[in-house]
A and B are shown apart, each in its own frame.
Chain A
């Protein structure tokens, strides 16, 4: 009986986290399209509901009623598993995101490593989908994205080391609290820029959307998918984008902390600040999509390995020497 009540409590907490995440993924798709449209002097989706807010729900309804087509020469088990893996990995990462000092589902010691691990597993959904489709375009898209995501993970990992040097802990709440006096975006500004660009590449967003470059690969790894399975890829992708924004907000923008530590601002709950910071980063993501043309593949690889990796490694040495020389290394 005791176990059951614990299980029920945890399930309640998980639902309380996952339902808002899923709803906000639907809203964020709408926001993405609206921002994109406004940059191009269009209206964007504005018909369904107030300001078109319910457009994503209408789309979801359409996807549910569409037929799921499984290609006859595909590897059926892996073909069906691929969108499930993408979606699950995008959602389980939210378990460690702290919404305030106490509001966190799993306050684990190695929170940032968990986030990094789950985001690096995200590539499997794409590879599985691309390979199991047994078709040329999806396969090319999967191969491209495997190389791309592995390359940019390296620089994200090194950037995380930069932040960890200043914090001295792998716990996400500790990382947030370490930014009490100054957000890390100020001393580590170049790293923030590199993190932002690497996050774009990691989530296959334009200008790095080569795995699904429609001019060359039809739709990349999701070409053979239809109906709800396609929608699950889509949801997983946007949940991943939100997750990268949350990671950026926690690592560089002070997470759930208010921008200034004075009376009226401290009343606002931490979750609101975190959501605002995630939204700010997401609008930047959407703007980049609207204003930057797509990269060529060799340029993408050059940027990842020859520019970002050396830069972030040099910055690690600089940060470490600075902290060591001025005796600022966090010791506990």
Chain B
């Protein structure tokens, strides 16, 4: 048990400290690296409570894909310059009230969840009755997700798909004058349409249009 406690406190301290450092560090790229560290230590905590599937999916999805794109965007944008434009000459930012409202909302949500867990444990017994302890974490998760919660699961998938299509539509623009290769066109070209034999008159040359 001692080893378990040591690991638990190590990972949770790393998680909390790196979460603070995400907002505290000046360099945005450093923030993203701290965010990645946070994700990794949280997935370690998931694995420690026996939710190995969730932990691994957290690593694959958040660290392996989402954070890479995050880093990608942060490195490409010139964030420092933008920040100076936003905050220049403003002692109090307009973003603080919005942030405060959102953070109080999240705080109360957490209070409700933790309070329910602490004082009304019978609410959570419904879920426990479904969980079969002889099955592995992955199996029981699949059995619950694809039977009782199939509609919620599918709807969340659809929402993500719609969000993705929305993002693509927003950034989609058709540029004119871009030359594109078409494999089918290239392969199916005949000699007759590719080569043209011309009589060249002296001192006049040939005009080649592009």
The yes or no verdict on A and B being binding partners is yes
Task: List residues of A whose CB falls within 8 A of some B CB.
Answer: 3, 78, 108-110, 113-114, 116-117, 120-121, 123-124, 127-128, 131, 139, 143, 146-147, 149-150, 153, 157, 170
Is the Cβ of B60 less than 8 Å from the Cβ of A117? yes
A143-B72, A143-B75, A147-B72 given as contacts; is B64 within 8 A of A120 (CB)? yes
Is the Cβ of B56 less than 8 Å from the Cβ of A117? yes
Q: Does B12 contact A (CB under 8 A)?
A: no
Q: Does B45 contact A (CB under 8 A)?
A: no
Which single residue of chain B is at the shortest CB-CB distance from A78?
B33
Which of B65, B68, B137 gathers most chain A CB within 10 Å?
B68
Closest chain-B Cβ to A27's Cβ sits at a distance in Å of: 30
A113-B53, A113-B60, A147-B72 given as contacts; is B65 within 8 A of A120 (CB)? yes
Query: In the bound complex, how far is the Cα of B67 from the Cα of A149, in angstroms?
Result: 13
Is the Cβ of B136 less than 8 Å from the Cβ of A109? yes
Is the Cβ of B69 less than 8 Å from the Cβ of A150? yes
For A147, the chain B residues whose CB sits under 8 A away are: 72
For B75, the chain A residues whose CB sits under 8 A away are: 127, 131, 139, 143
For B57, the chain A residues whose CB sits under 8 A away are: 113
A121-B64, A147-B72 given as contacts; is B59 within 8 A of A3 (CB)? no
Closest chain-A Cβ to B55's Cβ sits at a distance in Å of: 8
How would residues 92 to 132 of chain B score, 1 for a CB under 8 Å from any chain A CB and 0 otherwise?
Answer: 00000000000000000000000000000000000000000
Q: Does B63 contact A (CB under 8 A)?
A: yes
Q: Does B36 contact A (CB under 8 A)?
A: yes
Closest chain-A Cβ to B62's Cβ sits at a distance in Å of: 10
Is the Cβ of A150 less than 8 Å from the Cβ of B68? yes
Q: Does B138 contact A (CB under 8 A)?
A: yes
For A113, the chain B residues whose CB sits under 8 A away are: 53, 56-57, 60
For A143, the chain B residues whose CB sits under 8 A away are: 72, 75-76
Q: Does B14 contact A (CB under 8 A)?
A: no
Closest chain-A Cβ to B58's Cβ sits at a distance in Å of: 9
Which single residue of chain B is at the shortest CB-CB distance from A123?
B68
Is the Cβ of A108 less than 8 Å from the Cβ of B64? no
A108-B52, A109-B137 given as contacts; is B33 within 8 A of A116 (CB)? no
Which single residue of chain B is at the shortest CB-CB distance from A77?
B30
Closest chain-A Cβ to B93's Cβ sits at a distance in Å of: 28
Q: Which of B34-67 contact A (CB under 8 A)?
A: 36, 52-53, 56-57, 59-60, 63-65
Which single residue of chain B is at the shortest CB-CB distance from A132?
B29
Query: In the bound complex, how far is the Cα of B59 from the Cα of A148, in angstroms?
Result: 19
Which single residue of chain A is at the shortest CB-CB distance from B139?
A332
Is the Cβ of A153 less than 8 Å from the Cβ of B52? no
Query: In the bound complex, how far is the Cα of B65 from the Cα of A116, in angstroms?
Result: 12
A-B pairs with beta carbons under 8 Å apart, 5 shown:
A120-B64, A121-B59, A150-B65, A157-B60, A170-B138
For B56, the chain A residues whose CB sits under 8 A away are: 110, 113-114, 116-117
Q: Does B3 contact A (CB under 8 A)?
A: yes
Is the Cβ of B60 less than 8 Å from the Cβ of A116? yes
Q: Which of B63-91 contact A (CB under 8 A)?
A: 63-65, 68-69, 71-72, 75-76
Closest chain-B Cβ to A313's Cβ sits at a distance in Å of: 14
For A146, the chain B residues whose CB sits under 8 A away are: 68, 71-72
Closest chain-B Cβ to A223's Cβ sits at a distance in Å of: 17
Q: Which of B1-31 contact A (CB under 8 A)?
A: 3, 29
Closest chain-A Cβ to B68's Cβ sits at a distance in Å of: 5
Is the Cβ of A131 less than 8 Å from the Cβ of B29? yes
Is the Cβ of A110 less than 8 Å from the Cβ of B65? no
Is the Cβ of B59 less than 8 Å from the Cβ of A109? no
Query: In the bound complex, how far is the Cα of B136 from the Cα of A131, in angstroms?
Result: 41
For B72, the chain A residues whose CB sits under 8 A away are: 127, 143, 146-147
For A109, the chain B residues whose CB sits under 8 A away are: 52, 136-138
Query: In the bound complex, how far is the Cα of B138 from the Cα of A147, in angstroms?
Result: 30
Query: In the bound complex, how far is the Cα of B68 from the Cα of A146, in angstroms?
Result: 7
Query: In the bound complex, how far is the Cα of B3 from the Cα of A124, in angstroms?
Result: 30
Query: In the bound complex, how far is the Cα of B3 from the Cα of A128, in angstroms?
Result: 32
For B64, the chain A residues whose CB sits under 8 A away are: 117, 120-121, 123, 150, 153
For A124, the chain B residues whose CB sits under 8 A away are: 36, 68
For A78, the chain B residues whose CB sits under 8 A away are: 33
Q: Which of A121, A127, A149 contacts B71 (CB 8 A)?
A: A127
Which single residue of chain B is at the shortest CB-CB distance from A298?
B181
Query: In the bound complex, how far is the Cα of B136 from the Cα of A168, in angstroms?
Result: 12
Is the Cβ of B3 less than 8 Å from the Cβ of A3? yes
Closest chain-B Cβ to A72's Cβ sits at a distance in Å of: 18
Closest chain-A Cβ to B61's Cβ sits at a distance in Å of: 9
